[in-house]
Structures are given as structure tokens and as C-alpha cells.
Structure 1
């Protein structure tokens, strides 16, 4: 059984690096959606995950149409980095506990 020990929590908490969109997608999309960068459905899975993270701030269609997820300087709104940092830590904790969700790529 996976347990989030104080040591594991502190290790996760100490991660002060900011994650950008391409790094986040490269790290989590293969684990959550089972699709690798460059494979069919990868961009859709990445956009779907981003839409879930930002919630009502941007729709799937808005992200898909207007954001350049490969341009980590100007491709998306600045507030996204803070949201991705939180989501990255949340996913890390879920993975540590064996609770990382497995999702289907949206049609």
C-alpha cells in the first residue's frame, strides 16, 4: 500500500520549480492518458487536461484554438503556470498514493 509519509510530502513540497505547459504535458499525459508526445491524440489529451485545470477560465475550444502549448513564453496566459504548479504537485501526491486517474482521450 502506498502511503504519503511526512518525508514524501516534504520532498514534494520542496519542489519549487515552476512547470510550463509542455513540461507538464510531457510528464503527465503519458501517465494519465497513455499517449506519448507526437502520437495521435496527444494534443487533444493535453488540451483536455489543461481545460480541467483552468476550469471556467478557458474552455477546451478556446485553449485548442488560441493557445500555443509549445510556446512556453507567449503561448498561453501567465496565470496558467501557477495553476500547473499546483496540479503538478497534486498529481505527484496522487501518483505516490497510487491514485493517479487514468482517462480516455476525448473524441
Structure 2
């Protein structure tokens, strides 16, 4: 499971953008998306991308360009991401003998 946002100027990495500007923050976010997608592909594990909000005009049956080959869904409304994780992780973690969880794309501090 990958939790992410659509790469939209001014909507991602807003705290980082305060220091480097919205365009540079968007570029960083796009790079983090690419690194995350590459890591999932290299690990050859099934994954679903859970987007924070529905992309404008997007069809859930069609892959997103940032996540070619990965299915995606929109996260259900919740008070916080922390309240969403337990509900969505329960079944996959029960079925998996090994797992990999990423809240990426989040850059290390």
C-alpha cells in the first residue's frame, strides 16, 4: 500500500515549499514518486496506491501516469491518515508472510 497525493503545484510538500518554493517542492515530490514506484517495481510486490483525494477527471479503471501498472484508489474520508491505516492494512497483513509498508513519498528528515 502506498499513500500519496496527486503531484499538483501548491498541494504537495507545502512545508518544504515554504523554504524552496512550490515549483521546486513539486519537483522533489515527483522525484520521490518515481523512486517509490521504482522500488515497488524492483521488489516485485503487489501494491495499491491510495490517493489522498480524487484526481480531477480521473477514471479509477485507468492507471495514473505516476504509477504505471499499479492500481489506485481514493482514500476514504477520515479524521487522519492514522485512522485509515489500521482498517486498510488488516487484511493484507494477515495474508502476507512478508510485507513492505511505505508512507512514501516522504523524504527523510
Q: Return the TM-score normalized by structure 1.
A: 0.30
Q: Return the TM-score normalized by structure 2.
A: 0.29
Select the structure that is richer in strand.
2
Select the structure that is richer in helix.
1
